[in-house]
Structure 1
Amino acid sequence: MIAWSVELSEFGIQYESHRPLKAQCLADFVAELTPTTTEEPQVWTLHVDGSSNSKGSGAGIILEGPNQVTVEQSLKFSFKVTNNQVEYEALLAGLRLARDLGARKVSCNSDSKLMVEQLSGTYQAKDTLLQRYFHVASHQISSFDEFTIQHVPREQNTRADLLSKLASTKRPGQHRTIIQETLHTPSLDDKIVNVRDNGDLGWMTGIWSYLKEGTLPEDKDEDQKMRMRSAKFAIVGDELFKRGVSSPLLKCLTVPRAAYVVEEIHRGISGMHSGARSMASRVLRAGYYWPTLKSDCQDYIQKCKECQQSGNTHRQPPEALHHMMLSWPFFQWGMDILGPFPPAKVQLKFLLVAINYFTKWIEACPLAKITTKNVQKFTWRIIICRFGIPHTLVTNNDRQFIAQGFEDFLRKLGIKHLPTSVEHPQTNGQVEAANKVILLELKKRLGNAKGQWPNELPSIL
């Protein structure tokens, strides 16, 4: 290296050795050549509408995807459906179409306010058939990565409305395919709870094999046990039922189906977060059975967050029950005021509760203001007009109950008023117990939506 430096010095050339490659140069090279664009699933727009009249019923579906492609489908139903049912049928058909085309993100538009509000959670599906449609639609919606549904005016859903009436429109510059199809059975027929949906029958395998094929275990003891156990069961219409001495046939469920039934009865639309014994009785009244029914109900309640947070804790020692001698139903009523609650619609903050001592029948009315006039109106409309004039009315010493106007109202009707002592509220213990039940159920159902307590009140009562 020194010799080369001496030789090149007369030409004014300076030698420099090659430096090592910096890590930043390599990072810049990788960053420049790495593609930055990643394909994300695009949102598909779904328009659905249904039409039902005396001539027939149908549905229109429009699915708009990427690359200006629109798929339009017209369905004709050969079975009778109502207007609300046909809207759900249109939505279910649209979801099936979107899933078949590989859509992962769907934005749905419908002019049926009832269906949109039910799927959004604002309204409750009270009709039995609509509840089944609601559960089927919710199950299909859960298969998408992202799903939104919104209500649009009928004017903005004209194309789907025309398709539902076997007509169509077309936008210029778009590819379009119209699929015409006839459905002969409702979409719910294959969604009914059926123990034969899964190949694994679980605890029913041995019973099913014996009743269907006559197969028994090889062990003699197990053989005898299987014969005795299978005598309590019967197969009706390819489904297993349990016989009862004084009860109707109970449909046998597998473990996954049983878990769904328990959850629906405990916290579904008709659920009331009841105890283990009460929930097991409700399952039997609904017509279902499996061997671990009681233990499953107990385990589910122990895992229910609302039940554990708002459970009934006993702080006083038990004592003997006291007899209440009453002559006839609706002979004596107890009345009390609950509140103030979080303000709800029209500023409802109080709850006026009345209970009959004989039948334990509870009546309650949410009010914005607790005045003597409102108490008198509640007594007249809810108690007297519906159940007749009572003999006795038990209240506390709130000023609304001991006001002179309310006392004159009761005296004219011949109702005996018994105000309780401040030092002994147990005199009106029946209504206090009803208040405790109402408050516990409200805590279990509301969660953070405290302002919705008037909406939950009818289901609690």
Structure 2
Amino acid sequence: MAASFDSFTLLHVPRDQNERVDLLAKLASTRRRGLQQSVIHENLSAPTIDKPEIQHNERRETWMDPIIEYLKYGKLPDDSAGSLKIQKEAPKYTLIEQHLYRRGFSYPFLRCVDNDEALYVIQEIHEGICGTHIEGRALAGKIAQAGCYWPTLKTNCMDYVKRCDRCQRFADVHQAPPEQLHVMASPWPFHKWGIDIFGPFPMAPGQVKFLMVVVDYFTKWIEAEPMSTITAERVKRFIWKKIVCCFGLPTEIVSDNGTQFASSITAKFCQDLHIRQSFTSVEHPQANGQAKAPNRVILRGLRRRFEEAKGRWVEELPQVLWSYHTTPHSTTGETPFRLTYGSEAMIPVEIGEPSPRTTLFETAANEEELRINLDLLQEVREIAHIKEYAPKARVARKYGQRVIHRDFEVKDLVLRKITLGAKKNKLTPKWEGPFRITGRVGKGAYRLEHLDG
């Protein structure tokens, strides 16, 4: 047969691409003898003709039915209270082309809608083409201006906004405090210390450029030491030398969440000495304001003592601390030196311009007076403590007037405010989450976890 052609080409077609020829081959092999016509079989999964069907929709009762029944047929509910209510409310409504309307103030007639229609209206106006996720009352007012009404209009709008995910994520941060102001005070001297790292400063001899500062919450006494590096080991040695060896073991040390303070080395050191570590919240560093305040005092004193030779700040540091220790504190009314040692320190001006205690000095009488001062020191400290606590209590009472309590329960889903450092731009949401509450820490704090654990 090939000899009958000048040229030809053979093409191989896969079976799955040659369905029609494959079907003809199967029909030829299955055809009975004597039958000259072929029948193509096809399985139909749906009817080929349309049949009339009946759909059963059960009509649900709506809040409009009793009013429509009364306006159309004068029918009233069986109970007397319901009848009186319908008779009182019916004059506010009218039927126009079989639709119920309410006489309104913002619009002559407001069309009454049922629950399903109300949900559509809320969704369309709140987040539809012309929606901008407006708040609850504004949403209710806009719906009324659009000519729609139902009895729970405002309540439904408020609830819908509260459940709107976008509205919650971009909601304004609450300015009213959720919890009472908790006053941080020390019951006796050297009970509680605040520690902080200050710097960097201009490089000084010894390659020092940082300053580690601790302050006693009761006496306001400050200890500081310049450092070249800030490591957990340096923090450990500083606490031992400046606090433990000078004033005894403290009960509590307050710090921020710096790696030097939260490291395992510092934690084990404090645990061995039974010192409780308290860390301030990242979102609320003011909780360690007692340690931050001396930083401003030291910085202001150093700036004013030199101008050009910035590297001399290490040499000037003792004078700045001495000035602070011998100056009456604004909250206690006493100098940190007197609250610590029981008597006022002798300062250079009392030598340059003799004071009574220098001109009338007698060794025996001075010894006796110093002992008397130590006996009276406890009373001086108590008065200083009251002077410090009284203004804090007044501030706490005034602060409490603005408090709007927001309590949550375990397993509640909440959103968390995004920190300033995590915000990327002006369009970034203000809240993140949701998170699940796993426990109460106390004083308005909770433990959270992601929904996936």
TM above 0.5, one fold?
no
**What TM-score does the superposition give when structure 2 sets the normalisation length?**
0.31
**What TM-score does the superposition give when structure 1 sets the normalisation length?**
0.30
Greater C-alpha Rg: 2
